[in-house]
Amino acid sequence: MSILNILTQYVIPFIIAIGLLILVHEMGHYLVARMCGVKVLKFSIGFGKPLLKWTAKNGTEWVLAAFPLGGFVKMLGEGAKDEIDEQESRWAFNRKPVEQRIAIVAAGPIFNLLLAVVLYWGLFVAGTTELRPLIATTQAESSLAQEAGVRNGDLVLSVNGEKVRSWEDLRWALVEHAISRDEARLEVRTREGTEAVRILDLSNFSFQDASKEDLVFRMGLRPTLGPALLSYVEEGGPAAKGGVLKDDEIIAIDGEPVSSSFDVVDAVRRSPDKTRAFTVRRDGKEQTFSITLDKKQHNDEIIGFAGIAFDNSFMFAEVRDTPFEAVGHALSHTWQQSVLTLKSIGKIITGFIPANNISGPLTIADLAGKSAQHGLPSFIKFLALISISLGVLNLLPIPVLDGGHLLYYAVELIKGSALSERSVEIGQMIGLGALLLLMAFAIFNDINRLIS
């Protein structure tokens, strides 16, 4: 991949995503500080050498800096040792009541969570085309899905009473129950139209190597694909040369029956430069054609290529809410993902989820690029998810983070006086050291994923 492609497909989406989330976070601090009568000296997006800067009429210096991974709002009297002119003391942060200081500090993470609500609301109102929660078992000899009696073509209606409208809803629900180590009760409608219950026991589900393999696939589930009905045959491609036509239904390869387009795709991918016998149903009659597959490179892997596409339109449905319905769904979605983020952090700390699942800026850039390539709705979902993560992480009671400052102010409320400067300095050093170690470990994980 060329440097230009890396810039356009990954770096630019990453900078746009991170820049927007930091802007919203710092704007939360800024707006509430101004509402509380605090003078803001500097508003910076990024660190390091300023690329752009200007000073507003109210005296605030606005800065866009070179290093985009962060930002800050510098307020008058924010530092314990700041010298303040008595004439300006009423505008100083440290002279404000502790309740106002709490509001100012909490505003950053809260704005990130509100951004997620707004993004989800917009998506739900505009409507998105989603993969329906039609499920099938994977090819594994034994899986949780097979033990639960899951059948090909089951349509999931709800999980533990929570309505499911898309494959993504199903995936989030299953991951949440896996983290909670409990049962996932799937209420389904079978192909025959009857309703049934499939219970997945996730109490012993392992998150080992979770970053390398889809968790739902590891449970033994995959989306159901329809009959291998061809909607497109490339002119001059391998399939066309072999005699296959549009609207043919592939029913067997080398005499082995195929139940869906998934089976055909899998067989073709595993057969670069090989000749396979394709049996099709055409006008009610079965015919067999010999097709010599081509090959192409995909993600550093050589795979087979037939020049065909399938009609899988039945797999998709439009998910859309009224503006009023979307408010509730957006709030619920943001809340559930916030709780899931907290649970995941707890499970990493206790060792239930391996620490190699911690991701850093390289993984975030990769996800930003891939989501952008899949279209605006996918990128907006990515922004909402990262905004939730940023908001939740910043509320953790770790010195240096907003949550650490909130912890200091909570202690001040209880004991009636602020912590000593020495206590705050020690906490800041410990918190900074912990964050630097965490960042180094996350980047190590990112590099390890790239290498492996």
Q: Say how many residues make up the chain.
A: 452
What one-character DSSP code corresponds to residue 133? Answer: -
227 within 8 A of 249, measured Cβ to Cβ: yes
Q: Is residue 47 part of a domain?
A: no
Active site residue 412: no
177 within 8 A of 159, measured Cβ to Cβ: yes
Asked whether the predicted pLDDT for residue 381 surpasses 90, the reply is yes
Give the C-alpha separation, 345 to 339, whole Å. Answer: 10
More confident position, 309 or 450: 309
127 within 8 A of 185, measured Cβ to Cβ: no
Asked whether the predicted pLDDT for residue 435 surpasses 90, the reply is no
Q: Is residue 266 part of a domain?
A: yes
Catalytic: which of 26, 78, 187, 249? 26
Give the C-alpha separation, 291 to 84, whole Å. Answer: 81
Residue tagged 């770790």 (tokens) = 398
Amino acid making up residue 178: A
Please compute the mean of the pLDDT values over residues 370-388 and round it to a whole number.
Answer: 92
* 325: phi then psi, degrees, rounded to nearest 5: -60, -35
Q: Is residue 118 part of a domain?
A: yes
What one-character DSSP code corresponds to residue 39? Answer: P
Q: Is residue 211 part of a domain?
A: yes
More confident position, 142 or 59: 59
For helices 376-394 and 98-126, give the axis angle rounded to 10 degrees. Answer: 160
Domain boundary among 248, 277, 310: 310
Reported confidence tier of residue 196, pLDDT bands at 50, 70, 90: very high
Task: Report pLDDT digits (tens) over 263-313.
Answer: 898 899 999 999 999 999 998 899 999 999 998 887 778 899 999 998 877
Q: Which DSSP string corresponds to 269-326? A: HT-TT-EEEEEEEETTEEEEEEEE-EEEEETTEEEEE--EEE--GGGEEEE---HHHH
* Alpha carbon distances (Å) from 377 to 25, 128, 257, 429: 22, 7, 37, 41
Reported confidence tier of residue 332, pLDDT bands at 50, 70, 90: very high
Residues 342 and 286 occupy one common structural domain: no
Please compute the mean of the pLDDT values over residues 177-206 and round it to a whole number.
Answer: 90
Tokens of 331: 């709030």
Residues 337 and 440 occupy one common structural domain: yes
Residues 281 and 370 occupy one common structural domain: no
Q: Is residue 388 part of a domain?
A: yes
Give the C-alpha separation, 202 to 144, whole Å. Answer: 8
Residues 452 and 326 occupy one common structural domain: yes
Q: Is residue 439 part of a domain?
A: yes
Residues 342 and 412 occupy one common structural domain: yes
Q: Is residue 175 part of a domain?
A: yes
332 within 8 A of 294, measured Cβ to Cβ: no
Residues 283 and 379 occupy one common structural domain: no
Domain boundary among 310, 343, 372: 310
The kind and range of the H/E element at 136 are: strand 134-137
Task: Report pLDDT digits (tens) over 84-128.
Answer: 777 778 899 988 999 999 999 999 999 999 999 999 999 999 998
Domain boundary among 319, 339, 368: 319
**Which structural domain range is residue 122 located in?**
99-127+321-452
Give the C-alpha separation, 267 to 278, whole Å. Answer: 11
Tokens of 276: 């396979």
Instruction: Give the pLDDT score at 208.
Output: 73
Residues 255 and 346 occupy one common structural domain: no
Give the C-alpha separation, 365 to 18, whole Å. Answer: 9
* 257, β-bridge pairs: 252
Residues 298 and 273 occupy one common structural domain: yes
CB-facing half-sphere around the CA of 391: CA atoms within 13 A: 28
Say which residues have a Cβ less than 8 Å from residue 241's Cβ, sequence separation at least 6.
Answer: 291, 292
* Alpha carbon distances (Å) from 12 to 17, 68, 406: 9, 12, 34
Instruction: Give the pLDDT score at 351.
Output: 79
CATH number at residue 270: 2.30.42.10
* 259: phi then psi, degrees, rounded to nearest 5: -100, -15
Residues 247 and 214 occupy one common structural domain: no
Residues 185 and 274 occupy one common structural domain: no
Residues 325 and 437 occupy one common structural domain: yes
3-state secondary structure at position 186: strand
pTM: 0.81
- Rounded to the nearest 10°, the torsion over CA 134, 138, 141, 147 is -30
Q: Is residue 450 part of a domain?
A: yes
Please compute the mean of the pLDDT values over residues 221-227 and round it to a whole number.
Answer: 78
- Rounded to the nearest 10°, the torsion over CA 137, 138, 144, 146 is 50
Q: Mean pLDDT score of the chain, rounded to an integer?
A: 88
Say which residues have a Cβ less than 8 Å from residue 1's Cβ, sequence separation at least 6.
Answer: 9
Domain count, the chain: 3
Give the C-alpha separation, 54 to 60, whole Å. Answer: 8
Q: Give the chain's largest Cα–Cα span.
A: 94
